[in-house]
């Protein structure tokens, strides 16, 4: 088992169809004790029934520094250590440049970029050598949006990629690795309904692997980056897009 003995937090893991839950489930199967953090988490009994006693739920809004600190304190209190953080919580909006309001900008930037920074800051107070942070960015940062997210979404994810490289540089000497995953089009609650029928078929026709992605596809890349298999990989990003964007 690739994460035996490790404690992980996955943010944005409250949606049963989402990437975060897929990552948490995969981590639990690989022996990790895993905390599923969300602004609106599912009942802990339900999660324990599905993932076993080595899973817990934590309520926090990643935009709120005190809530992030309290969430991490809760995990430390229960399991006494923290090895892996997956920054997955995210907000998407389809907008054109001139339609982005101040509130739109604040919401998307705050959840995607500030939330990633705040959770990382708090986690880095506890993660030691061998620890790993994985941040979910997006194909939108690489190709300039154009799928679901507007320019502010793409920019927030571009910020995440820059933050990943900067944190990787800063924390490498402490033995802590920081990497990103860039999902392409993944079928989740966020994208539900947007890729049905003709729209789905036309997107699939641009994907060499000829299908949309699943949360499990993203979870596999997160597992690799979180585990010791990726012990010499930091500041990198792994594309999980079926070949839709190559560079």
Ligand X SMILES: NC(=O)c1ccc[n+]([C@@H]2O[C@H](COP(=O)([O-])OP(=O)(O)OC[C@H]3O[C@@H](n4cnc5c(N)ncnc54)[C@H](O)[C@@H]3O)[C@@H](O)[C@H]2O)c1
Q: How near is the Cβ of 63 to ligand X at its closest, in Å?
A: 5
Q: Which of 90, 151, 159, 242 binds ligand X (CB under 6 A)?
A: 90
DSSP string spanning the chain? -TTTT-EEEEES---TTSHHHHHHHHHHHTT-EEEEEESSPPPHHHHHHHH-TTEEEEE--TT-HHHHHHHHHHHHHHHS---EEEE---------GGG--HHHHHHHHIIIIIHHHHHHHHHHTT--TT-EEEEE--HHHHHT--SSS-HHHHHHHHHHHHHHHHHHHHHGGGT-EEEEEEE-SB-STTTTTTT-HHHHHHHHTT-TT-S-B-HHHHHHHHHHHHSGGGTT--S-EEEESTTSS--
Q: Considering only 55-63, 73-81, 198-206, 222-230, which stretch makes contact with ligand X by CB under 6 A?
A: 55-63
Task: Identify whether 153 is a catalytic site residue.
Answer: yes
Please identify, using beta-carbon distances, which residue of 48 and 110 lies nearer to ligand X. Answer: 110
Q: How near is the Cβ of 70 to ligand X at its closest, in Å?
A: 13
**62 is an interface residue for ligand X by CB under 6 A:** yes
Q: How near is the Cβ of 4 to ligand X at its closest, in Å?
A: 26
**15 is an interface residue for ligand X by CB under 6 A:** yes
Q: Which of 111, 141, 180, 225 binds ligand X (CB under 6 A)?
A: 111
**92 is an interface residue for ligand X by CB under 6 A:** yes
Active site residues: 153
């Amino acid at each position: 088992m690739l994460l035996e003995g490790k404690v992980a937090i996955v943010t944005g893991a409250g949606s049963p169809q989402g990437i975060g839950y897929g990552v948490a489930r995969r981590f639990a199967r690989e022996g990790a004790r895993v905390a599923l953090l969300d602004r609106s988490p599912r009942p802990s009994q339900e999660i324990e029934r599905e993932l076993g006693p080595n899973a817990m739920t934590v309520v926090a809004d990643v935009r709120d520094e005190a809530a992030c600190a309290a969430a991490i304190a809760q995990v430390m209190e229960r399991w006494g250590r923290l090895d892996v953080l997956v920054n997955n919580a995210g907000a998407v909006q389809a907008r054109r440049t001139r339609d982005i309001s101040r509130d739109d900008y604040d919401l998307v930037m705050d959840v995607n970029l500030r939330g990633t920074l705040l959770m990382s800051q708090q986690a880095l107070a506890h993660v030691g050598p061998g620890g790993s942070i994985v941040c979910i960015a997006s194909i939108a940062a690489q190709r300039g949006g154009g799928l679901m997210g507007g320019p502010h979404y793409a920019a927030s994810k571009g910020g995440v990629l820059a933050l990943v490289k900067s944190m990787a540089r800063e924390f490498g000497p402490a033995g802590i690795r920081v990497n990103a995953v860039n999902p392409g089009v993944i079928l989740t609650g966020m994208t539900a309904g947007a890729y049905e029928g003709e729209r789905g078929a036309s997107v699939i026709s641009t994907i060499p692997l000829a299908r949309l992605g699943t949360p499990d596809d993203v979870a596999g890349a997160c597992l690799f980056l979180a585990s010791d298999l990726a012990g010499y990989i930091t500041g990198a990003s792994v594309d999980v897009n079926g070949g839709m964007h190559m560079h």
